[in-house]
Chains A and B, each alone.
Chain A
Amino acid sequence: MAYEFRMPDLGEGVAEGEIVRWLVAPGQEVAEDDLLVEIQTDKATVEVPSPASGVVSRILAEEGAVVPVGELLVVIGAEDGDGVPGNGPPAVTEPVQSRVQATPAVRRLAAELGVDLAALAGDGPVTEAAVRAAAGGPAGGRREPLRGVRRAIAEHLSRSHREVPAVTVVEECDFTHLSLTRGELSYLPFVLRATADALGRHPALNARLERDEIVYLDDVHLGVAMQTEAGLVVPVVRDAAAKAVETLATEVADLGAAAAAGTLVPEQLRGSTFTVSSAGRLGGLFATPLVNHPEVAILGVHRIAPRPAVIDGAILVRDIGLVSCTFDHRVVDGAVASAFLLDVIAGLEGREPGP
């Protein structure tokens, strides 16, 4: 008779659990208490042992799925002909096992480091230290938990890297005119101005992908990537399309001071529709910034320096910087992104946007 195993309440009144990893496959023979699946809840991650013996006939939840408590996870044993699998008491055989003892954390570590736990089995549970020693990795070095800003960055960028098929297009920009006319201001407010203008003409890049819909956004709120001691933050300049360069300069300076002091409030970190990454001297010759999910593109301004340029057949020393646009190719085509990038550059070079 088949045993229907349903998502147990692994906490104290938790509503659901996430399938981290199946430890068995359909067709596999399992004994009672063999580990079936690793499940994560709000409380902890646990390995769930099988309540019954038999062949795994069906697995009903994929890895990564969040399953409500009480939903069917797996059917063990041959299913009844009438299609109503029983949930009766399990086979009353308590198997004699010699499973390696180790905590879930140690098991996970062993899996990550490719260490065979069975080889470390001895008296008592396998320890983390034993697994690390077996991995032969560097025993020394400082360990630091992933916390706060670092954790937020890690989660956010992992998602972008995982989900977004990103392509980067790079062009050269002649900043000579701007460096002569910008006065006390940095390049950044001019970049924001040119970006906001170009987004107005290329609305496909001021958008986000929400499931099966592309949402073209009315407002232009520009995220500005800033390095702080705690890590990268991206405060937001709101309604950039309507603001003069001087206003943008003041706002960027204020946001920069708040970022450095660690006093940015959540409202200042939310709601950007497009992001600009401009790291100045540290911006690299060029780089491929990651799209700030759920946005669909990011503009990168890289190191501006005197470089030889060919103008009217002569080689001249000009202030040249590479400018990049990394875009989500699901939403934006290459030609559209290139046209947008050339439009931004025209604005920075003080020309009319070209055809």
Chain B
Amino acid sequence: MRASMRVEPSPAMPELRRVIGDGEGHPDGEVTGLDDAGLLALHRSMVLLRTYDERSLTYHRQGRIGTYAIFWGTEAIQAGSVHALDEVDWVFPSYRESAIGLLRGMAPATILAWWRGHPAGWWDPRERRVASICVPIATHVPHAAGLAWGLRLRGERGCAVCYFGDGATSEGAFHEGANFAAVMDAPLVLLCNNNQWAISTPLAAQTRAAALADKAAGYGMPGVRVDGGDVLAVYDATRQAVERARAGEGPTLIEAVTYRMAPHATADDPSLYIDEARVEEERRSECVARYEGYLRRRGLLTDELAEAARADALAAMREGIAAAEALPAPDPALVFDTAYADPPAQLVAERAELLRLLSEDGR
């Protein structure tokens, strides 16, 4: 007998959550958990990330750091989520969130050293509960799921937030991590920065799902869709997901919808594939200015405070790049020394050969 197949009409697109209004027809909403000081601290975090990003692009062009993954326009996703966490919670960044450690007190020099390929950029993840920057796509989702499960097994209060892009949802590792976390009730927040582009692959060529948040249903976890340019919407969604996680109710998938407003990275020329008029339009409603509008409507942000946030961030970056550039050149043997506890003979021979060549070269 032939199986009959019935295709249900696709479900309605999940609601796109917003908190910040437009100062005109749409009023601002409310969030719980942030007092005035908390709202201003969130602003400083966004400005710090924005400044880090803009300075890093300049440093790249000046030859002071290597290839750099620009995150301009997604500060709301990073700051909004981290501010909804406690210090006991873990953060698993992808390369798009390379500077998220700044929000945990990491020095700019450390992250700049990472982009300079210097071992001073290898931090100990346990120090600030910020995992290593993950460059392969989605391979850190199972890591985050496993760590979150471990926190639960040990009876700790913490949870984990794992950041990835829309392209990552097509990866096997995303499926494994999401499914595992759901089955184990791991305290995990899966935070998808859906900027609609996986380098040059548009979302429409990435998935047939109406919304990435819909994928959550297949794992038996809630899927939430928020405006990724609305820092308070991201904060609120993360806060609720963290509450669920701490209560032992398992993971949540948050789809933060945005649009990539910069090249994928410094080695990309998006004019070859992206609609630049759309990019210009998106940049006009970018997240920092939107949040500043909200704070000013509430009478919290003054020109002095905004200027001070920028000046402090710039000063931190100036110190950071100077410190990163002042680091002594690393020992080339490190390339070999940290790969194996017991290196195979071939690797030992290669190490010796490299050191011999370098010494002959007078270096």
Q: Is B283 in contact with A12, judged by CB distance below 8 angstroms?
A: no
Which of A46-54, A159-167, A182-190, A204-212 contacts the other chain? Answer: A46-54
Q: Is A10 in contact with B58, judged by CB distance below 8 angstroms?
A: no
A-B contact count (CB 8 A): 59
- Distance in Å from the Cβ of A189 to the closest Cβ of chain B? 45
B297 in the interface, Cβ–Cβ < 8 Å?
Answer: no
Considering the chains assembled together, what is the distance between the CA atoms of A94 and B318 in angstroms?
Answer: 8
Encoded as 1 (CB less than 8 Å from any A CB) or 0, chain B from 248 to 275 comes to 0000000000000001011111010000
- Distance in Å from the Cβ of A32 to the closest Cβ of chain B? 9
Q: Closest B-chain residue to A33, C-beta based?
A: B58
Considering the chains assembled together, what is the distance between the CA atoms of A78 and B61 in angstroms?
Answer: 23
Which of B2-10, B63-71, B339-347 contacts the other chain? Answer: B63-71
Q: Closest B-chain residue to A14, C-beta based?
A: B267
A246 in the interface, Cβ–Cβ < 8 Å?
Answer: no
Q: Is B283 in contact with A125, judged by CB distance below 8 angstroms?
A: yes
Known: A89-B322, A94-B318, A125-B280. A12 touches B62 (CB 8 A): no
A202 in the interface, Cβ–Cβ < 8 Å?
Answer: no
Q: Which residues of A contact B322 (CB under 8 A)?
A: 89, 92
Interface centre among A8, A9, A47, A92 (most CB of B within 10 A): A8
B342-356 CB contacts (< 8 Å) to partner A: none
Q: Which residues of A contact B283 (CB under 8 A)?
A: 124-125
The main secondary structure of chain B at its interface with chain A is: helix
Categorize the interface residue count of chain A: 20 to 34
B314 in the interface, Cβ–Cβ < 8 Å?
Answer: yes
Considering the chains assembled together, what is the distance between the CA atoms of A94 and B316 in angstroms?
Answer: 11
Q: Is A12 in contact with B63, judged by CB distance below 8 angstroms?
A: no
Considering the chains assembled together, what is the distance between the CA atoms of A63 and B325 in angstroms?
Answer: 29
Known: A49-B58, A125-B283. A8 touches B267 (CB 8 A): no
- Distance in Å from the Cβ of B280 to the closest Cβ of chain A? 6
Q: Is A50 in contact with B267, judged by CB distance below 8 angstroms?
A: no
Q: Is A124 in contact with B318, judged by CB distance below 8 angstroms?
A: no
Q: Is A48 in contact with B61, judged by CB distance below 8 angstroms?
A: yes
Q: Is B62 in contact with A8, judged by CB distance below 8 angstroms?
A: yes
B1 in the interface, Cβ–Cβ < 8 Å?
Answer: no
- Distance in Å from the Cβ of A99 to the closest Cβ of chain B? 12
Considering the chains assembled together, what is the distance between the CA atoms of A38 and B66 in angstroms?
Answer: 18
Q: Is A44 in contact with B325, judged by CB distance below 8 angstroms?
A: no
A336 in the interface, Cβ–Cβ < 8 Å?
Answer: no
Known: A12-B265, A124-B284, A125-B280. A92 touches B62 (CB 8 A): no
Q: Which residues of A contact B63 (CB under 8 A)?
A: 5-9, 51
- Distance in Å from the Cβ of B321 to the closest Cβ of chain A? 8
B60 in the interface, Cβ–Cβ < 8 Å?
Answer: yes
Encoded as 1 (CB less than 8 Å from any A CB) or 0, chain B from 291 to 311 comes to 000000000000000000000
Q: Which residues of B contact A33 (CB under 8 A)?
A: 58
Q: Which residues of A contact B268 (CB under 8 A)?
A: 43-44
Pick the contact of A46 from B61, B64, B67, B280 — CB < 8 Å? B61
B326 in the interface, Cβ–Cβ < 8 Å?
Answer: yes
A288 in the interface, Cβ–Cβ < 8 Å?
Answer: no
Q: Which residues of A contact B280 (CB under 8 A)?
A: 125, 127
B41-82 CB contacts (< 8 Å) to partner A: 58, 60-64, 66-67
Considering the chains assembled together, what is the distance between the CA atoms of A128 and B62 in angstroms?
Answer: 26
Considering the chains assembled together, what is the distance between the CA atoms of A127 and B283 in angstroms?
Answer: 12
Known: A8-B60, A125-B280. A43 touches B318 (CB 8 A): no
Categorize the interface residue count of chain B: 20 to 34
Encoded as 1 (CB less than 8 Å from any A CB) or 0, chain B from 312 to 343 comes to 00100010001001100000000000000000
Pick the contact of B267 from A6, A12, A103, A127 — CB < 8 Å? A12
Q: Is A12 in contact with B67, judged by CB distance below 8 angstroms?
A: yes
Q: Which residues of A contact B64 (CB under 8 A)?
A: 51
Considering the chains assembled together, what is the distance between the CA atoms of A5 and B63 in angstroms?
Answer: 8
Q: Which residues of A contact B67 (CB under 8 A)?
A: 9, 11-13
- Distance in Å from the Cβ of A287 to the closest Cβ of chain B? 37
A113 in the interface, Cβ–Cβ < 8 Å?
Answer: no
Q: Which residues of A contact B266 (CB under 8 A)?
A: 10-12
Q: Closest A-chain residue to B315, C-beta based?
A: A94
Q: Closest B-chain residue to A44, C-beta based?
A: B269
- Distance in Å from the Cβ of B323 to the closest Cβ of chain A? 9
A6-33 CB contacts (< 8 Å) to partner B: 6-14, 33
- Distance in Å from the Cβ of B131 to the closest Cβ of chain A? 23
Pick the contact of B61 from A10, A103, A105 — CB < 8 Å? A10
Considering the chains assembled together, what is the distance between the CA atoms of A240 and B3 in angstroms?
Answer: 69
Known: A89-B322, A94-B314, A94-B318. A49 touches B267 (CB 8 A): no
Q: Closest A-chain residue to B66, C-beta based?
A: A9
Considering the chains assembled together, what is the distance between the CA atoms of A6 and B61 in angstroms?
Answer: 11
- Distance in Å from the Cβ of B102 to the closest Cβ of chain A? 18
Encoded as 1 (CB less than 8 Å from any B CB) or 0, chain A from 128 to 153 comes to 10000000000000000000000000
Q: Which residues of A contact B276 (CB under 8 A)?
A: 103, 105, 128
Q: Which residues of A contact B60 (CB under 8 A)?
A: 8, 10
Q: Which residues of B contact A94 (CB under 8 A)?
A: 314, 318
Considering the chains assembled together, what is the distance between the CA atoms of A33 and B57 in angstroms?
Answer: 11
- Distance in Å from the Cβ of A275 to the closest Cβ of chain B? 34
Q: Which residues of B contact A11 (CB under 8 A)?
A: 67, 266-267
- Distance in Å from the Cβ of B325 to the closest Cβ of chain A? 5
Q: Which residues of B contact A48 (CB under 8 A)?
A: 61-62
Q: Closest A-chain residue to B270, C-beta based?
A: A44
- Distance in Å from the Cβ of A15 to the closest Cβ of chain B? 13
Encoded as 1 (CB less than 8 Å from any A CB) or 0, chain B from 16 to 29 comes to 00000000000000
Q: Which residues of A contact B267 (CB under 8 A)?
A: 10-12, 14, 43-44
Interface residues in chain B, defined as those with a beta carbon under 8 Å from any beta carbon in chain A: 58, 60-64, 66-67, 263, 265-269, 271, 276, 280, 283-284, 314, 318, 322, 325-326
| Chain A to chain B contacts (Cβ below 8 Å), 10 pairs | A6-B63, A9-B67, A10-B61, A12-B67, A12-B267, A43-B268, A44-B263, A49-B61, A89-B326, A125-B280
Please provide the 5 A-B residue pairs with the shortest distance between their CB atoms, ordered closest to farther.
Answer: A8-B63, A12-B267, A51-B62, A44-B269, A11-B267
Instruction: A10-B61, A11-B266 given; name 17 further pairs at CB < 8 Å.
Output: A6-B63, A8-B63, A9-B67, A10-B60, A11-B267, A12-B265, A12-B267, A43-B268, A43-B269, A44-B263, A48-B61, A49-B62, A89-B325, A124-B284, A125-B280, A127-B280, A128-B276
